[in-house]
Amino acid sequence: MAGRPGGDNRPMTRLILATRNAGKITELHAILAEAGLDHELVGADAYPEIPDVKETGVTFAENALLKAHALARATGLPAVADDSGLCVDVLGGAPGIFSARWAGRHGDDKANLDLLLAQLSDIDAPHRAAHFACAAALALPDGTERVVEGQLRGVLRHAPAGDGGFGYDPILQPDGETRTCAEMTAAEKNAISHRGKAFRALVPVVQELLG
């Protein structure tokens, strides 16, 4: 493992994030760096021989832990994973863990969005509360685990607005905002996002377990 900057010869811990999304890696790296943690962070692309893990859990936390433990076992390194989605109050927390495949096909953002808006078409504004939720897990090769969570609460618009973001961003208007997540800049969204909150809550966990 590489040494630390500034002449410190202690080995630098490599930390693997269970994603192939470069944006997530950049976001977590910035949060760790801001906290003064200089661990080497890599994504799942650094280990292409390891297959993606099926998300068979029934909560965000379970899915995050499944992915983190699988990577930690396969690589022998500490691993971080997250799982997130949209939870609508009037739907009892749905789509929840099914957010990415709400319309039946995984990752079809437009179909998912259209179906959810159709299901809520008769629901008036006072009852359209919802939140994005994210669970972030850190697992070590010895089985040690920690999970933290973050939320971004808001209300759902009746029609999409904005060209930024992805998923349900065009219909969630965060509390205290007049814009949807898709109308905000990436920096503005990251500052208040559910994943950003979960990743920041992970900092003391990394400090505790990895130093």
Q: Is 195 annotated as a binding residue?
A: yes
| DSSP, residue by residue, 68-99 | HHHHHHHHSS-EEEEEEEEEEGGGTT-BGGGG
Residue 88, domain member (yes or no): yes
Average pLDDT, the chain: 91
Residue 6 lies in a domain: no
Statement: residue 34 has pLDDT above 50: yes
| 163 annotated as ligand-binding | no
Number of domains into which the chain is organized: 1
Look at residue 20 in the predicted model and tell me its pLDDT.
Answer: 86
- Say what the pLDDT of residue 71 is: 95
Say if 9 falls within a structural domain: no
Tell me whether residue 67 is annotated as binding.
no
pLDDT of the residue at 9: 42
Residue 7 is predicted with a pLDDT of 40
CATH of residue 166's domain is 3.90.950.10
**Res 8 pLDDT > 50:** no
pLDDT of residue 12: 59
Place of tokens 């003064």: 36
Domain that holds residue 24: 14-210
Catalytic residues: 83
